[in-house]
A = this chain, B = another copy of it.
Amino acid sequence: MPVFLNANAPDFEASFTALLSAKREEAVDVDDTVAAIIADVRARGDAAVIELTAKFDRLDLTPETLAFSRAEIAAEIAKVPSEERAALELAAARIRAYHDRQRPEDARWTDATGAELGWRWGPVAAAGLYVPGGLASYPSSVLMNAIPAQVAGVERLVICAPTPGGVVNPLVLLAAHIAGVDTVYRIGGAQAVAAMAYGTETIAPVDKITGPGNAYVAAAKRRVFGRVGIDMIAGPSEILVIADKDNDPEWIALDLLSQAEHDESAQSILITTDEGFGRAVAAAVDTRLETLERRAIAGPSWRDYGAVIVVEDLAQAAVLSDRIAPEHLELCVADPDALLAQIKHAGAVFLGQWTPEAIGDYAGGPNHVLPTARSARFSSGLSVLDFMKRTTLAKMTPEALRAIGPAAERLAISESLEAHGLSVRARLDKLNR
């Protein structure tokens, strides 16, 4: 049984703070191991990657077989039933349509001094996507990472996807194919991250690495950050549902369980204005947990980190929601847009009872790579912008320099940066001659 709180109870603040600060993930210290792996890959390239893959993934590779061949990809893809292929294609089309709108605009203008100012966006030249193996090998994540990179205009896009024991997920290869990624290396772990960041004889280095992974992958991404760009380091998944009593308890129970089934550390919270409804949802969760395939995962998640919070009104729900700053937020209320207007911090919002969070995981259009662990306070989900960078532009005319230069010179002098000031002064002197 998860915690059942009433927001107006005298001990609520203490219980809510405890809920917010619950440490849901064991910090596994793999940093030394990862540092050694990265150093090894930098020093020995392919040979290190191949040895580490044999050791960790029980798979013997050669430089020639690090990547899947076109024939291998075609053979694997052919195994996918047409219904699944159609579903992936529909999802890809919707994700592409959404992300197409995120392409940022360049700007260039001339101000009153005659100075031309602006900026220009451009894609990173090369990006590498990490796709975990085993249980967390999600083809949907391939689409969510690769399509924004493609829309951004990234020229070279590669995937690293470990195949422990040689077991391949054909759907991952199909998703890569649909997203237009031809190069898929069957390597994983810190060695894959190191190979993408520093390059080997066979694997060309990339500029940006994205995608989820285990503790080794996360530690490796942290270490190569700076050498290359990375996306966020994601924590366990979370959902907050705000629901009034006019909902089907079974639907809300399934929405809560759809996060809980990801991970024993996932967190599912319901905030409701109706205690009876809250109890009905909790009962529906319990019933469903008796039969759910992943009950061994969803059960502990719900028991250890789940919560039902009863509030006075939706305004109070909005305040609590902002303190949680959830990764996923469902607003199952009569007027979800009115409630949305009161909410400041959330990764993705699902409006109304016809929008289960799972739609967003696959085919809604928005990205499913989202900020966890309250980081929606300061960060955003993955987008086209993550695969682009902006160059600022400035072009002075003699007249503009005459207008602006003296202030720059003055500030340079006050910061004791003589050459800065002189570089402006030399030009001003020429103008005044």
Contact = CB atoms under 8 A, between A and B. Distances in A.
Interface of A: 83-84, 86-88, 90-91, 94, 97-98, 101-102, 107, 109, 111, 115-117, 119-120, 122, 124-125, 135, 138-140, 171, 207-208, 226, 228-229, 233, 248, 250-251, 254-255, 257-258, 260-262, 288, 292-294, 298, 336, 340, 343-367, 370-371, 373, 375-381, 383, 385, 389-398, 400-401, 404-408, 410-412, 414-424, 426-427, 430
A86 B229 contact: no
Contact of A412 (B229, B350, B361, B383): B361
Given A122-B345, A362-B411, A362-B412, 13 more contacts: A86-B407, A97-B111, A124-B377, A226-B375, A254-B422, A260-B419, A293-B416, A294-B419, A340-B393, A350-B395, A351-B393, A359-B394, A359-B424
A420 B34 CA distance: 34
B115 A107 contact: no
B115 A261 contact: no
A97 B109 CA distance: 11
A410 B354 CA distance: 18
A125 B322 CA distance: 10
B366 A251 contact: no
B390 A383 contact: yes
A378 B367 contact: no
B84 A98 contact: no
Contacts of A124: 377-378
A258 to B, nearest CB: 4
B294 A418 contact: yes
Contacts of A288: 419
A410 B84 contact: yes
A407 B377 CA distance: 32
B365 A394 contact: yes
A365 B90 contact: no
Contact of A254 (B229, B364, B426): B426
B375 A381 contact: no
Contact of A366 (B97, B119, B430): B119
Contact of A375 (B229, B250, B363, B398): B229
A267 to B, nearest CB: 15
Nearest to A288: B419
Given A107-B101, A394-B366, A356 B427 contact: yes
Nearest to A123: B344
Nearest to A143: B411
B258 A423 contact: yes
A390 B344 CA distance: 10
A171 B400 CA distance: 25
Contact of A381 (B86, B352, B390, B412): B390
Contact of A344 (B125, B401, B420): B125
